[in-house]
Amino acid sequence: MSATSHLSRDQGVRRFGRVNWLGMYTLALREVRRFMAVWTQTLLAPLVTAALFLLIFDLAIGPSREAVMGVPFAHFLAPGILMMTVIQNSFANVSSSIVISKVQGNIVDTLMPPLSATELVVGYLAGGILRGVVVAVAVVAVIFPFIGLGVAHPLEALLFVVLGGAFLGALGIVAAVFANKFDQIAAITNFIVTPLSFLSGTFYSIEALPPVMQALSHANPVFYLIDGLRHAVLGVSDSDPAFGALVVTGSTLVICAVAWWMFRTGYRLKS
């Protein structure tokens, strides 16, 4: 092997060794402790909301609704409501943390330590993903037994929950860096995040939609999250879960790249 090859390899090792693991872990731990400190708002409230969604839709529509995709309507609803709860909480965890820091003027406390843009993205995402996973476990443990529902493929379910937390967590970073006040985050939540989750097959199979609406649904990454989790829980879905996982992974990487660029350049952070 040439001296140049040895030099390139050694430089790569040194770059890997310079990852600030402690700083990244500390940021992630801060994000986790932040939502655990107010668990009644961040964990209990989403659990109650998910239960109310399922109860209201099942009582209002369930008795008169025939089976959907071969399963009872309540069982069909449960995975969609679960994923909707996961992604909303992952988005809220990351976006609220950054916006609060910007409004209070202490975002510099996060930007000043020797953390790279990649480490900042990973640290924030870790908190959002973990909150989504904890909420998902709570919903499965508390609500699913009451409707007689289990999880057909637990590892696949975990994969889509993590992907959902990562995708909306990354979107939360981008939204929070762009926003300068809570009203702007509320607008993004109301006009982007909520429609993405509601118009993605949460409460219906897209097979019942007109062709144009089906095409629009297939362009929505959240559809693949909900459909993938539905396959993991029920064993049935509108699309191939493997293809859906690839779509969501690619979309997440694109959003993460935008978030990385924002941290790297200090866009709307260092003004």
Span 40-61, pLDDT tens digits: 999 999 999 999 988 888 777 7
* Integer Cα distance of 138 and 49 in angstroms: 12
Residue 181 DSSP label:
S
pLDDT value of position 205: 83
- Of 209, 246, 207, which is closest to residue 225 (Cα–Cα)? 246
Query: Sign of the CA dihedral 66, 69, 71, 74?
Result: negative
Q: For residues 14-19, give the mean pLDDT.
A: 58
The residues near 35 (Cβ < 8 Å, ≥ 6 apart) are 42, 43, 93, 127, 131
The residues near 68 (Cβ < 8 Å, ≥ 6 apart) are 76, 204, 205
Angle subtended by helix axes 154-178 and 73-104, to nearest 10:
30
Weakest-pLDDT range from 49-58, 116-125, 164-173: 49-58
Span 60-112, pLDDT tens digits: 776 667 778 888 888 999 999 999 999 999 999 999 999 999 999 889 889 88
Q: pLDDT band for 133, please (50, 70, 90 cuts).
A: very high
pLDDT value of position 17: 53
> pTM, whole model, 2 decimals?
0.89
pLDDT value of position 63: 63
* Integer Cα distance of 99 and 139 in angstroms: 28
Whether the per-residue pLDDT at 14 is higher than 60: the answer is no
Span 215-270, pLDDT tens digits: 888 899 999 999 999 999 999 998 999 999 999 999 999 999 999 999 999 998 87
Q: pLDDT band for 200, please (50, 70, 90 cuts).
A: confident
Q: How high does pLDDT run on average in the chain?
A: 88
pLDDT value of position 204: 84
pLDDT above 90: percentage of residues in the chain: 66
pLDDT value of position 240: 94
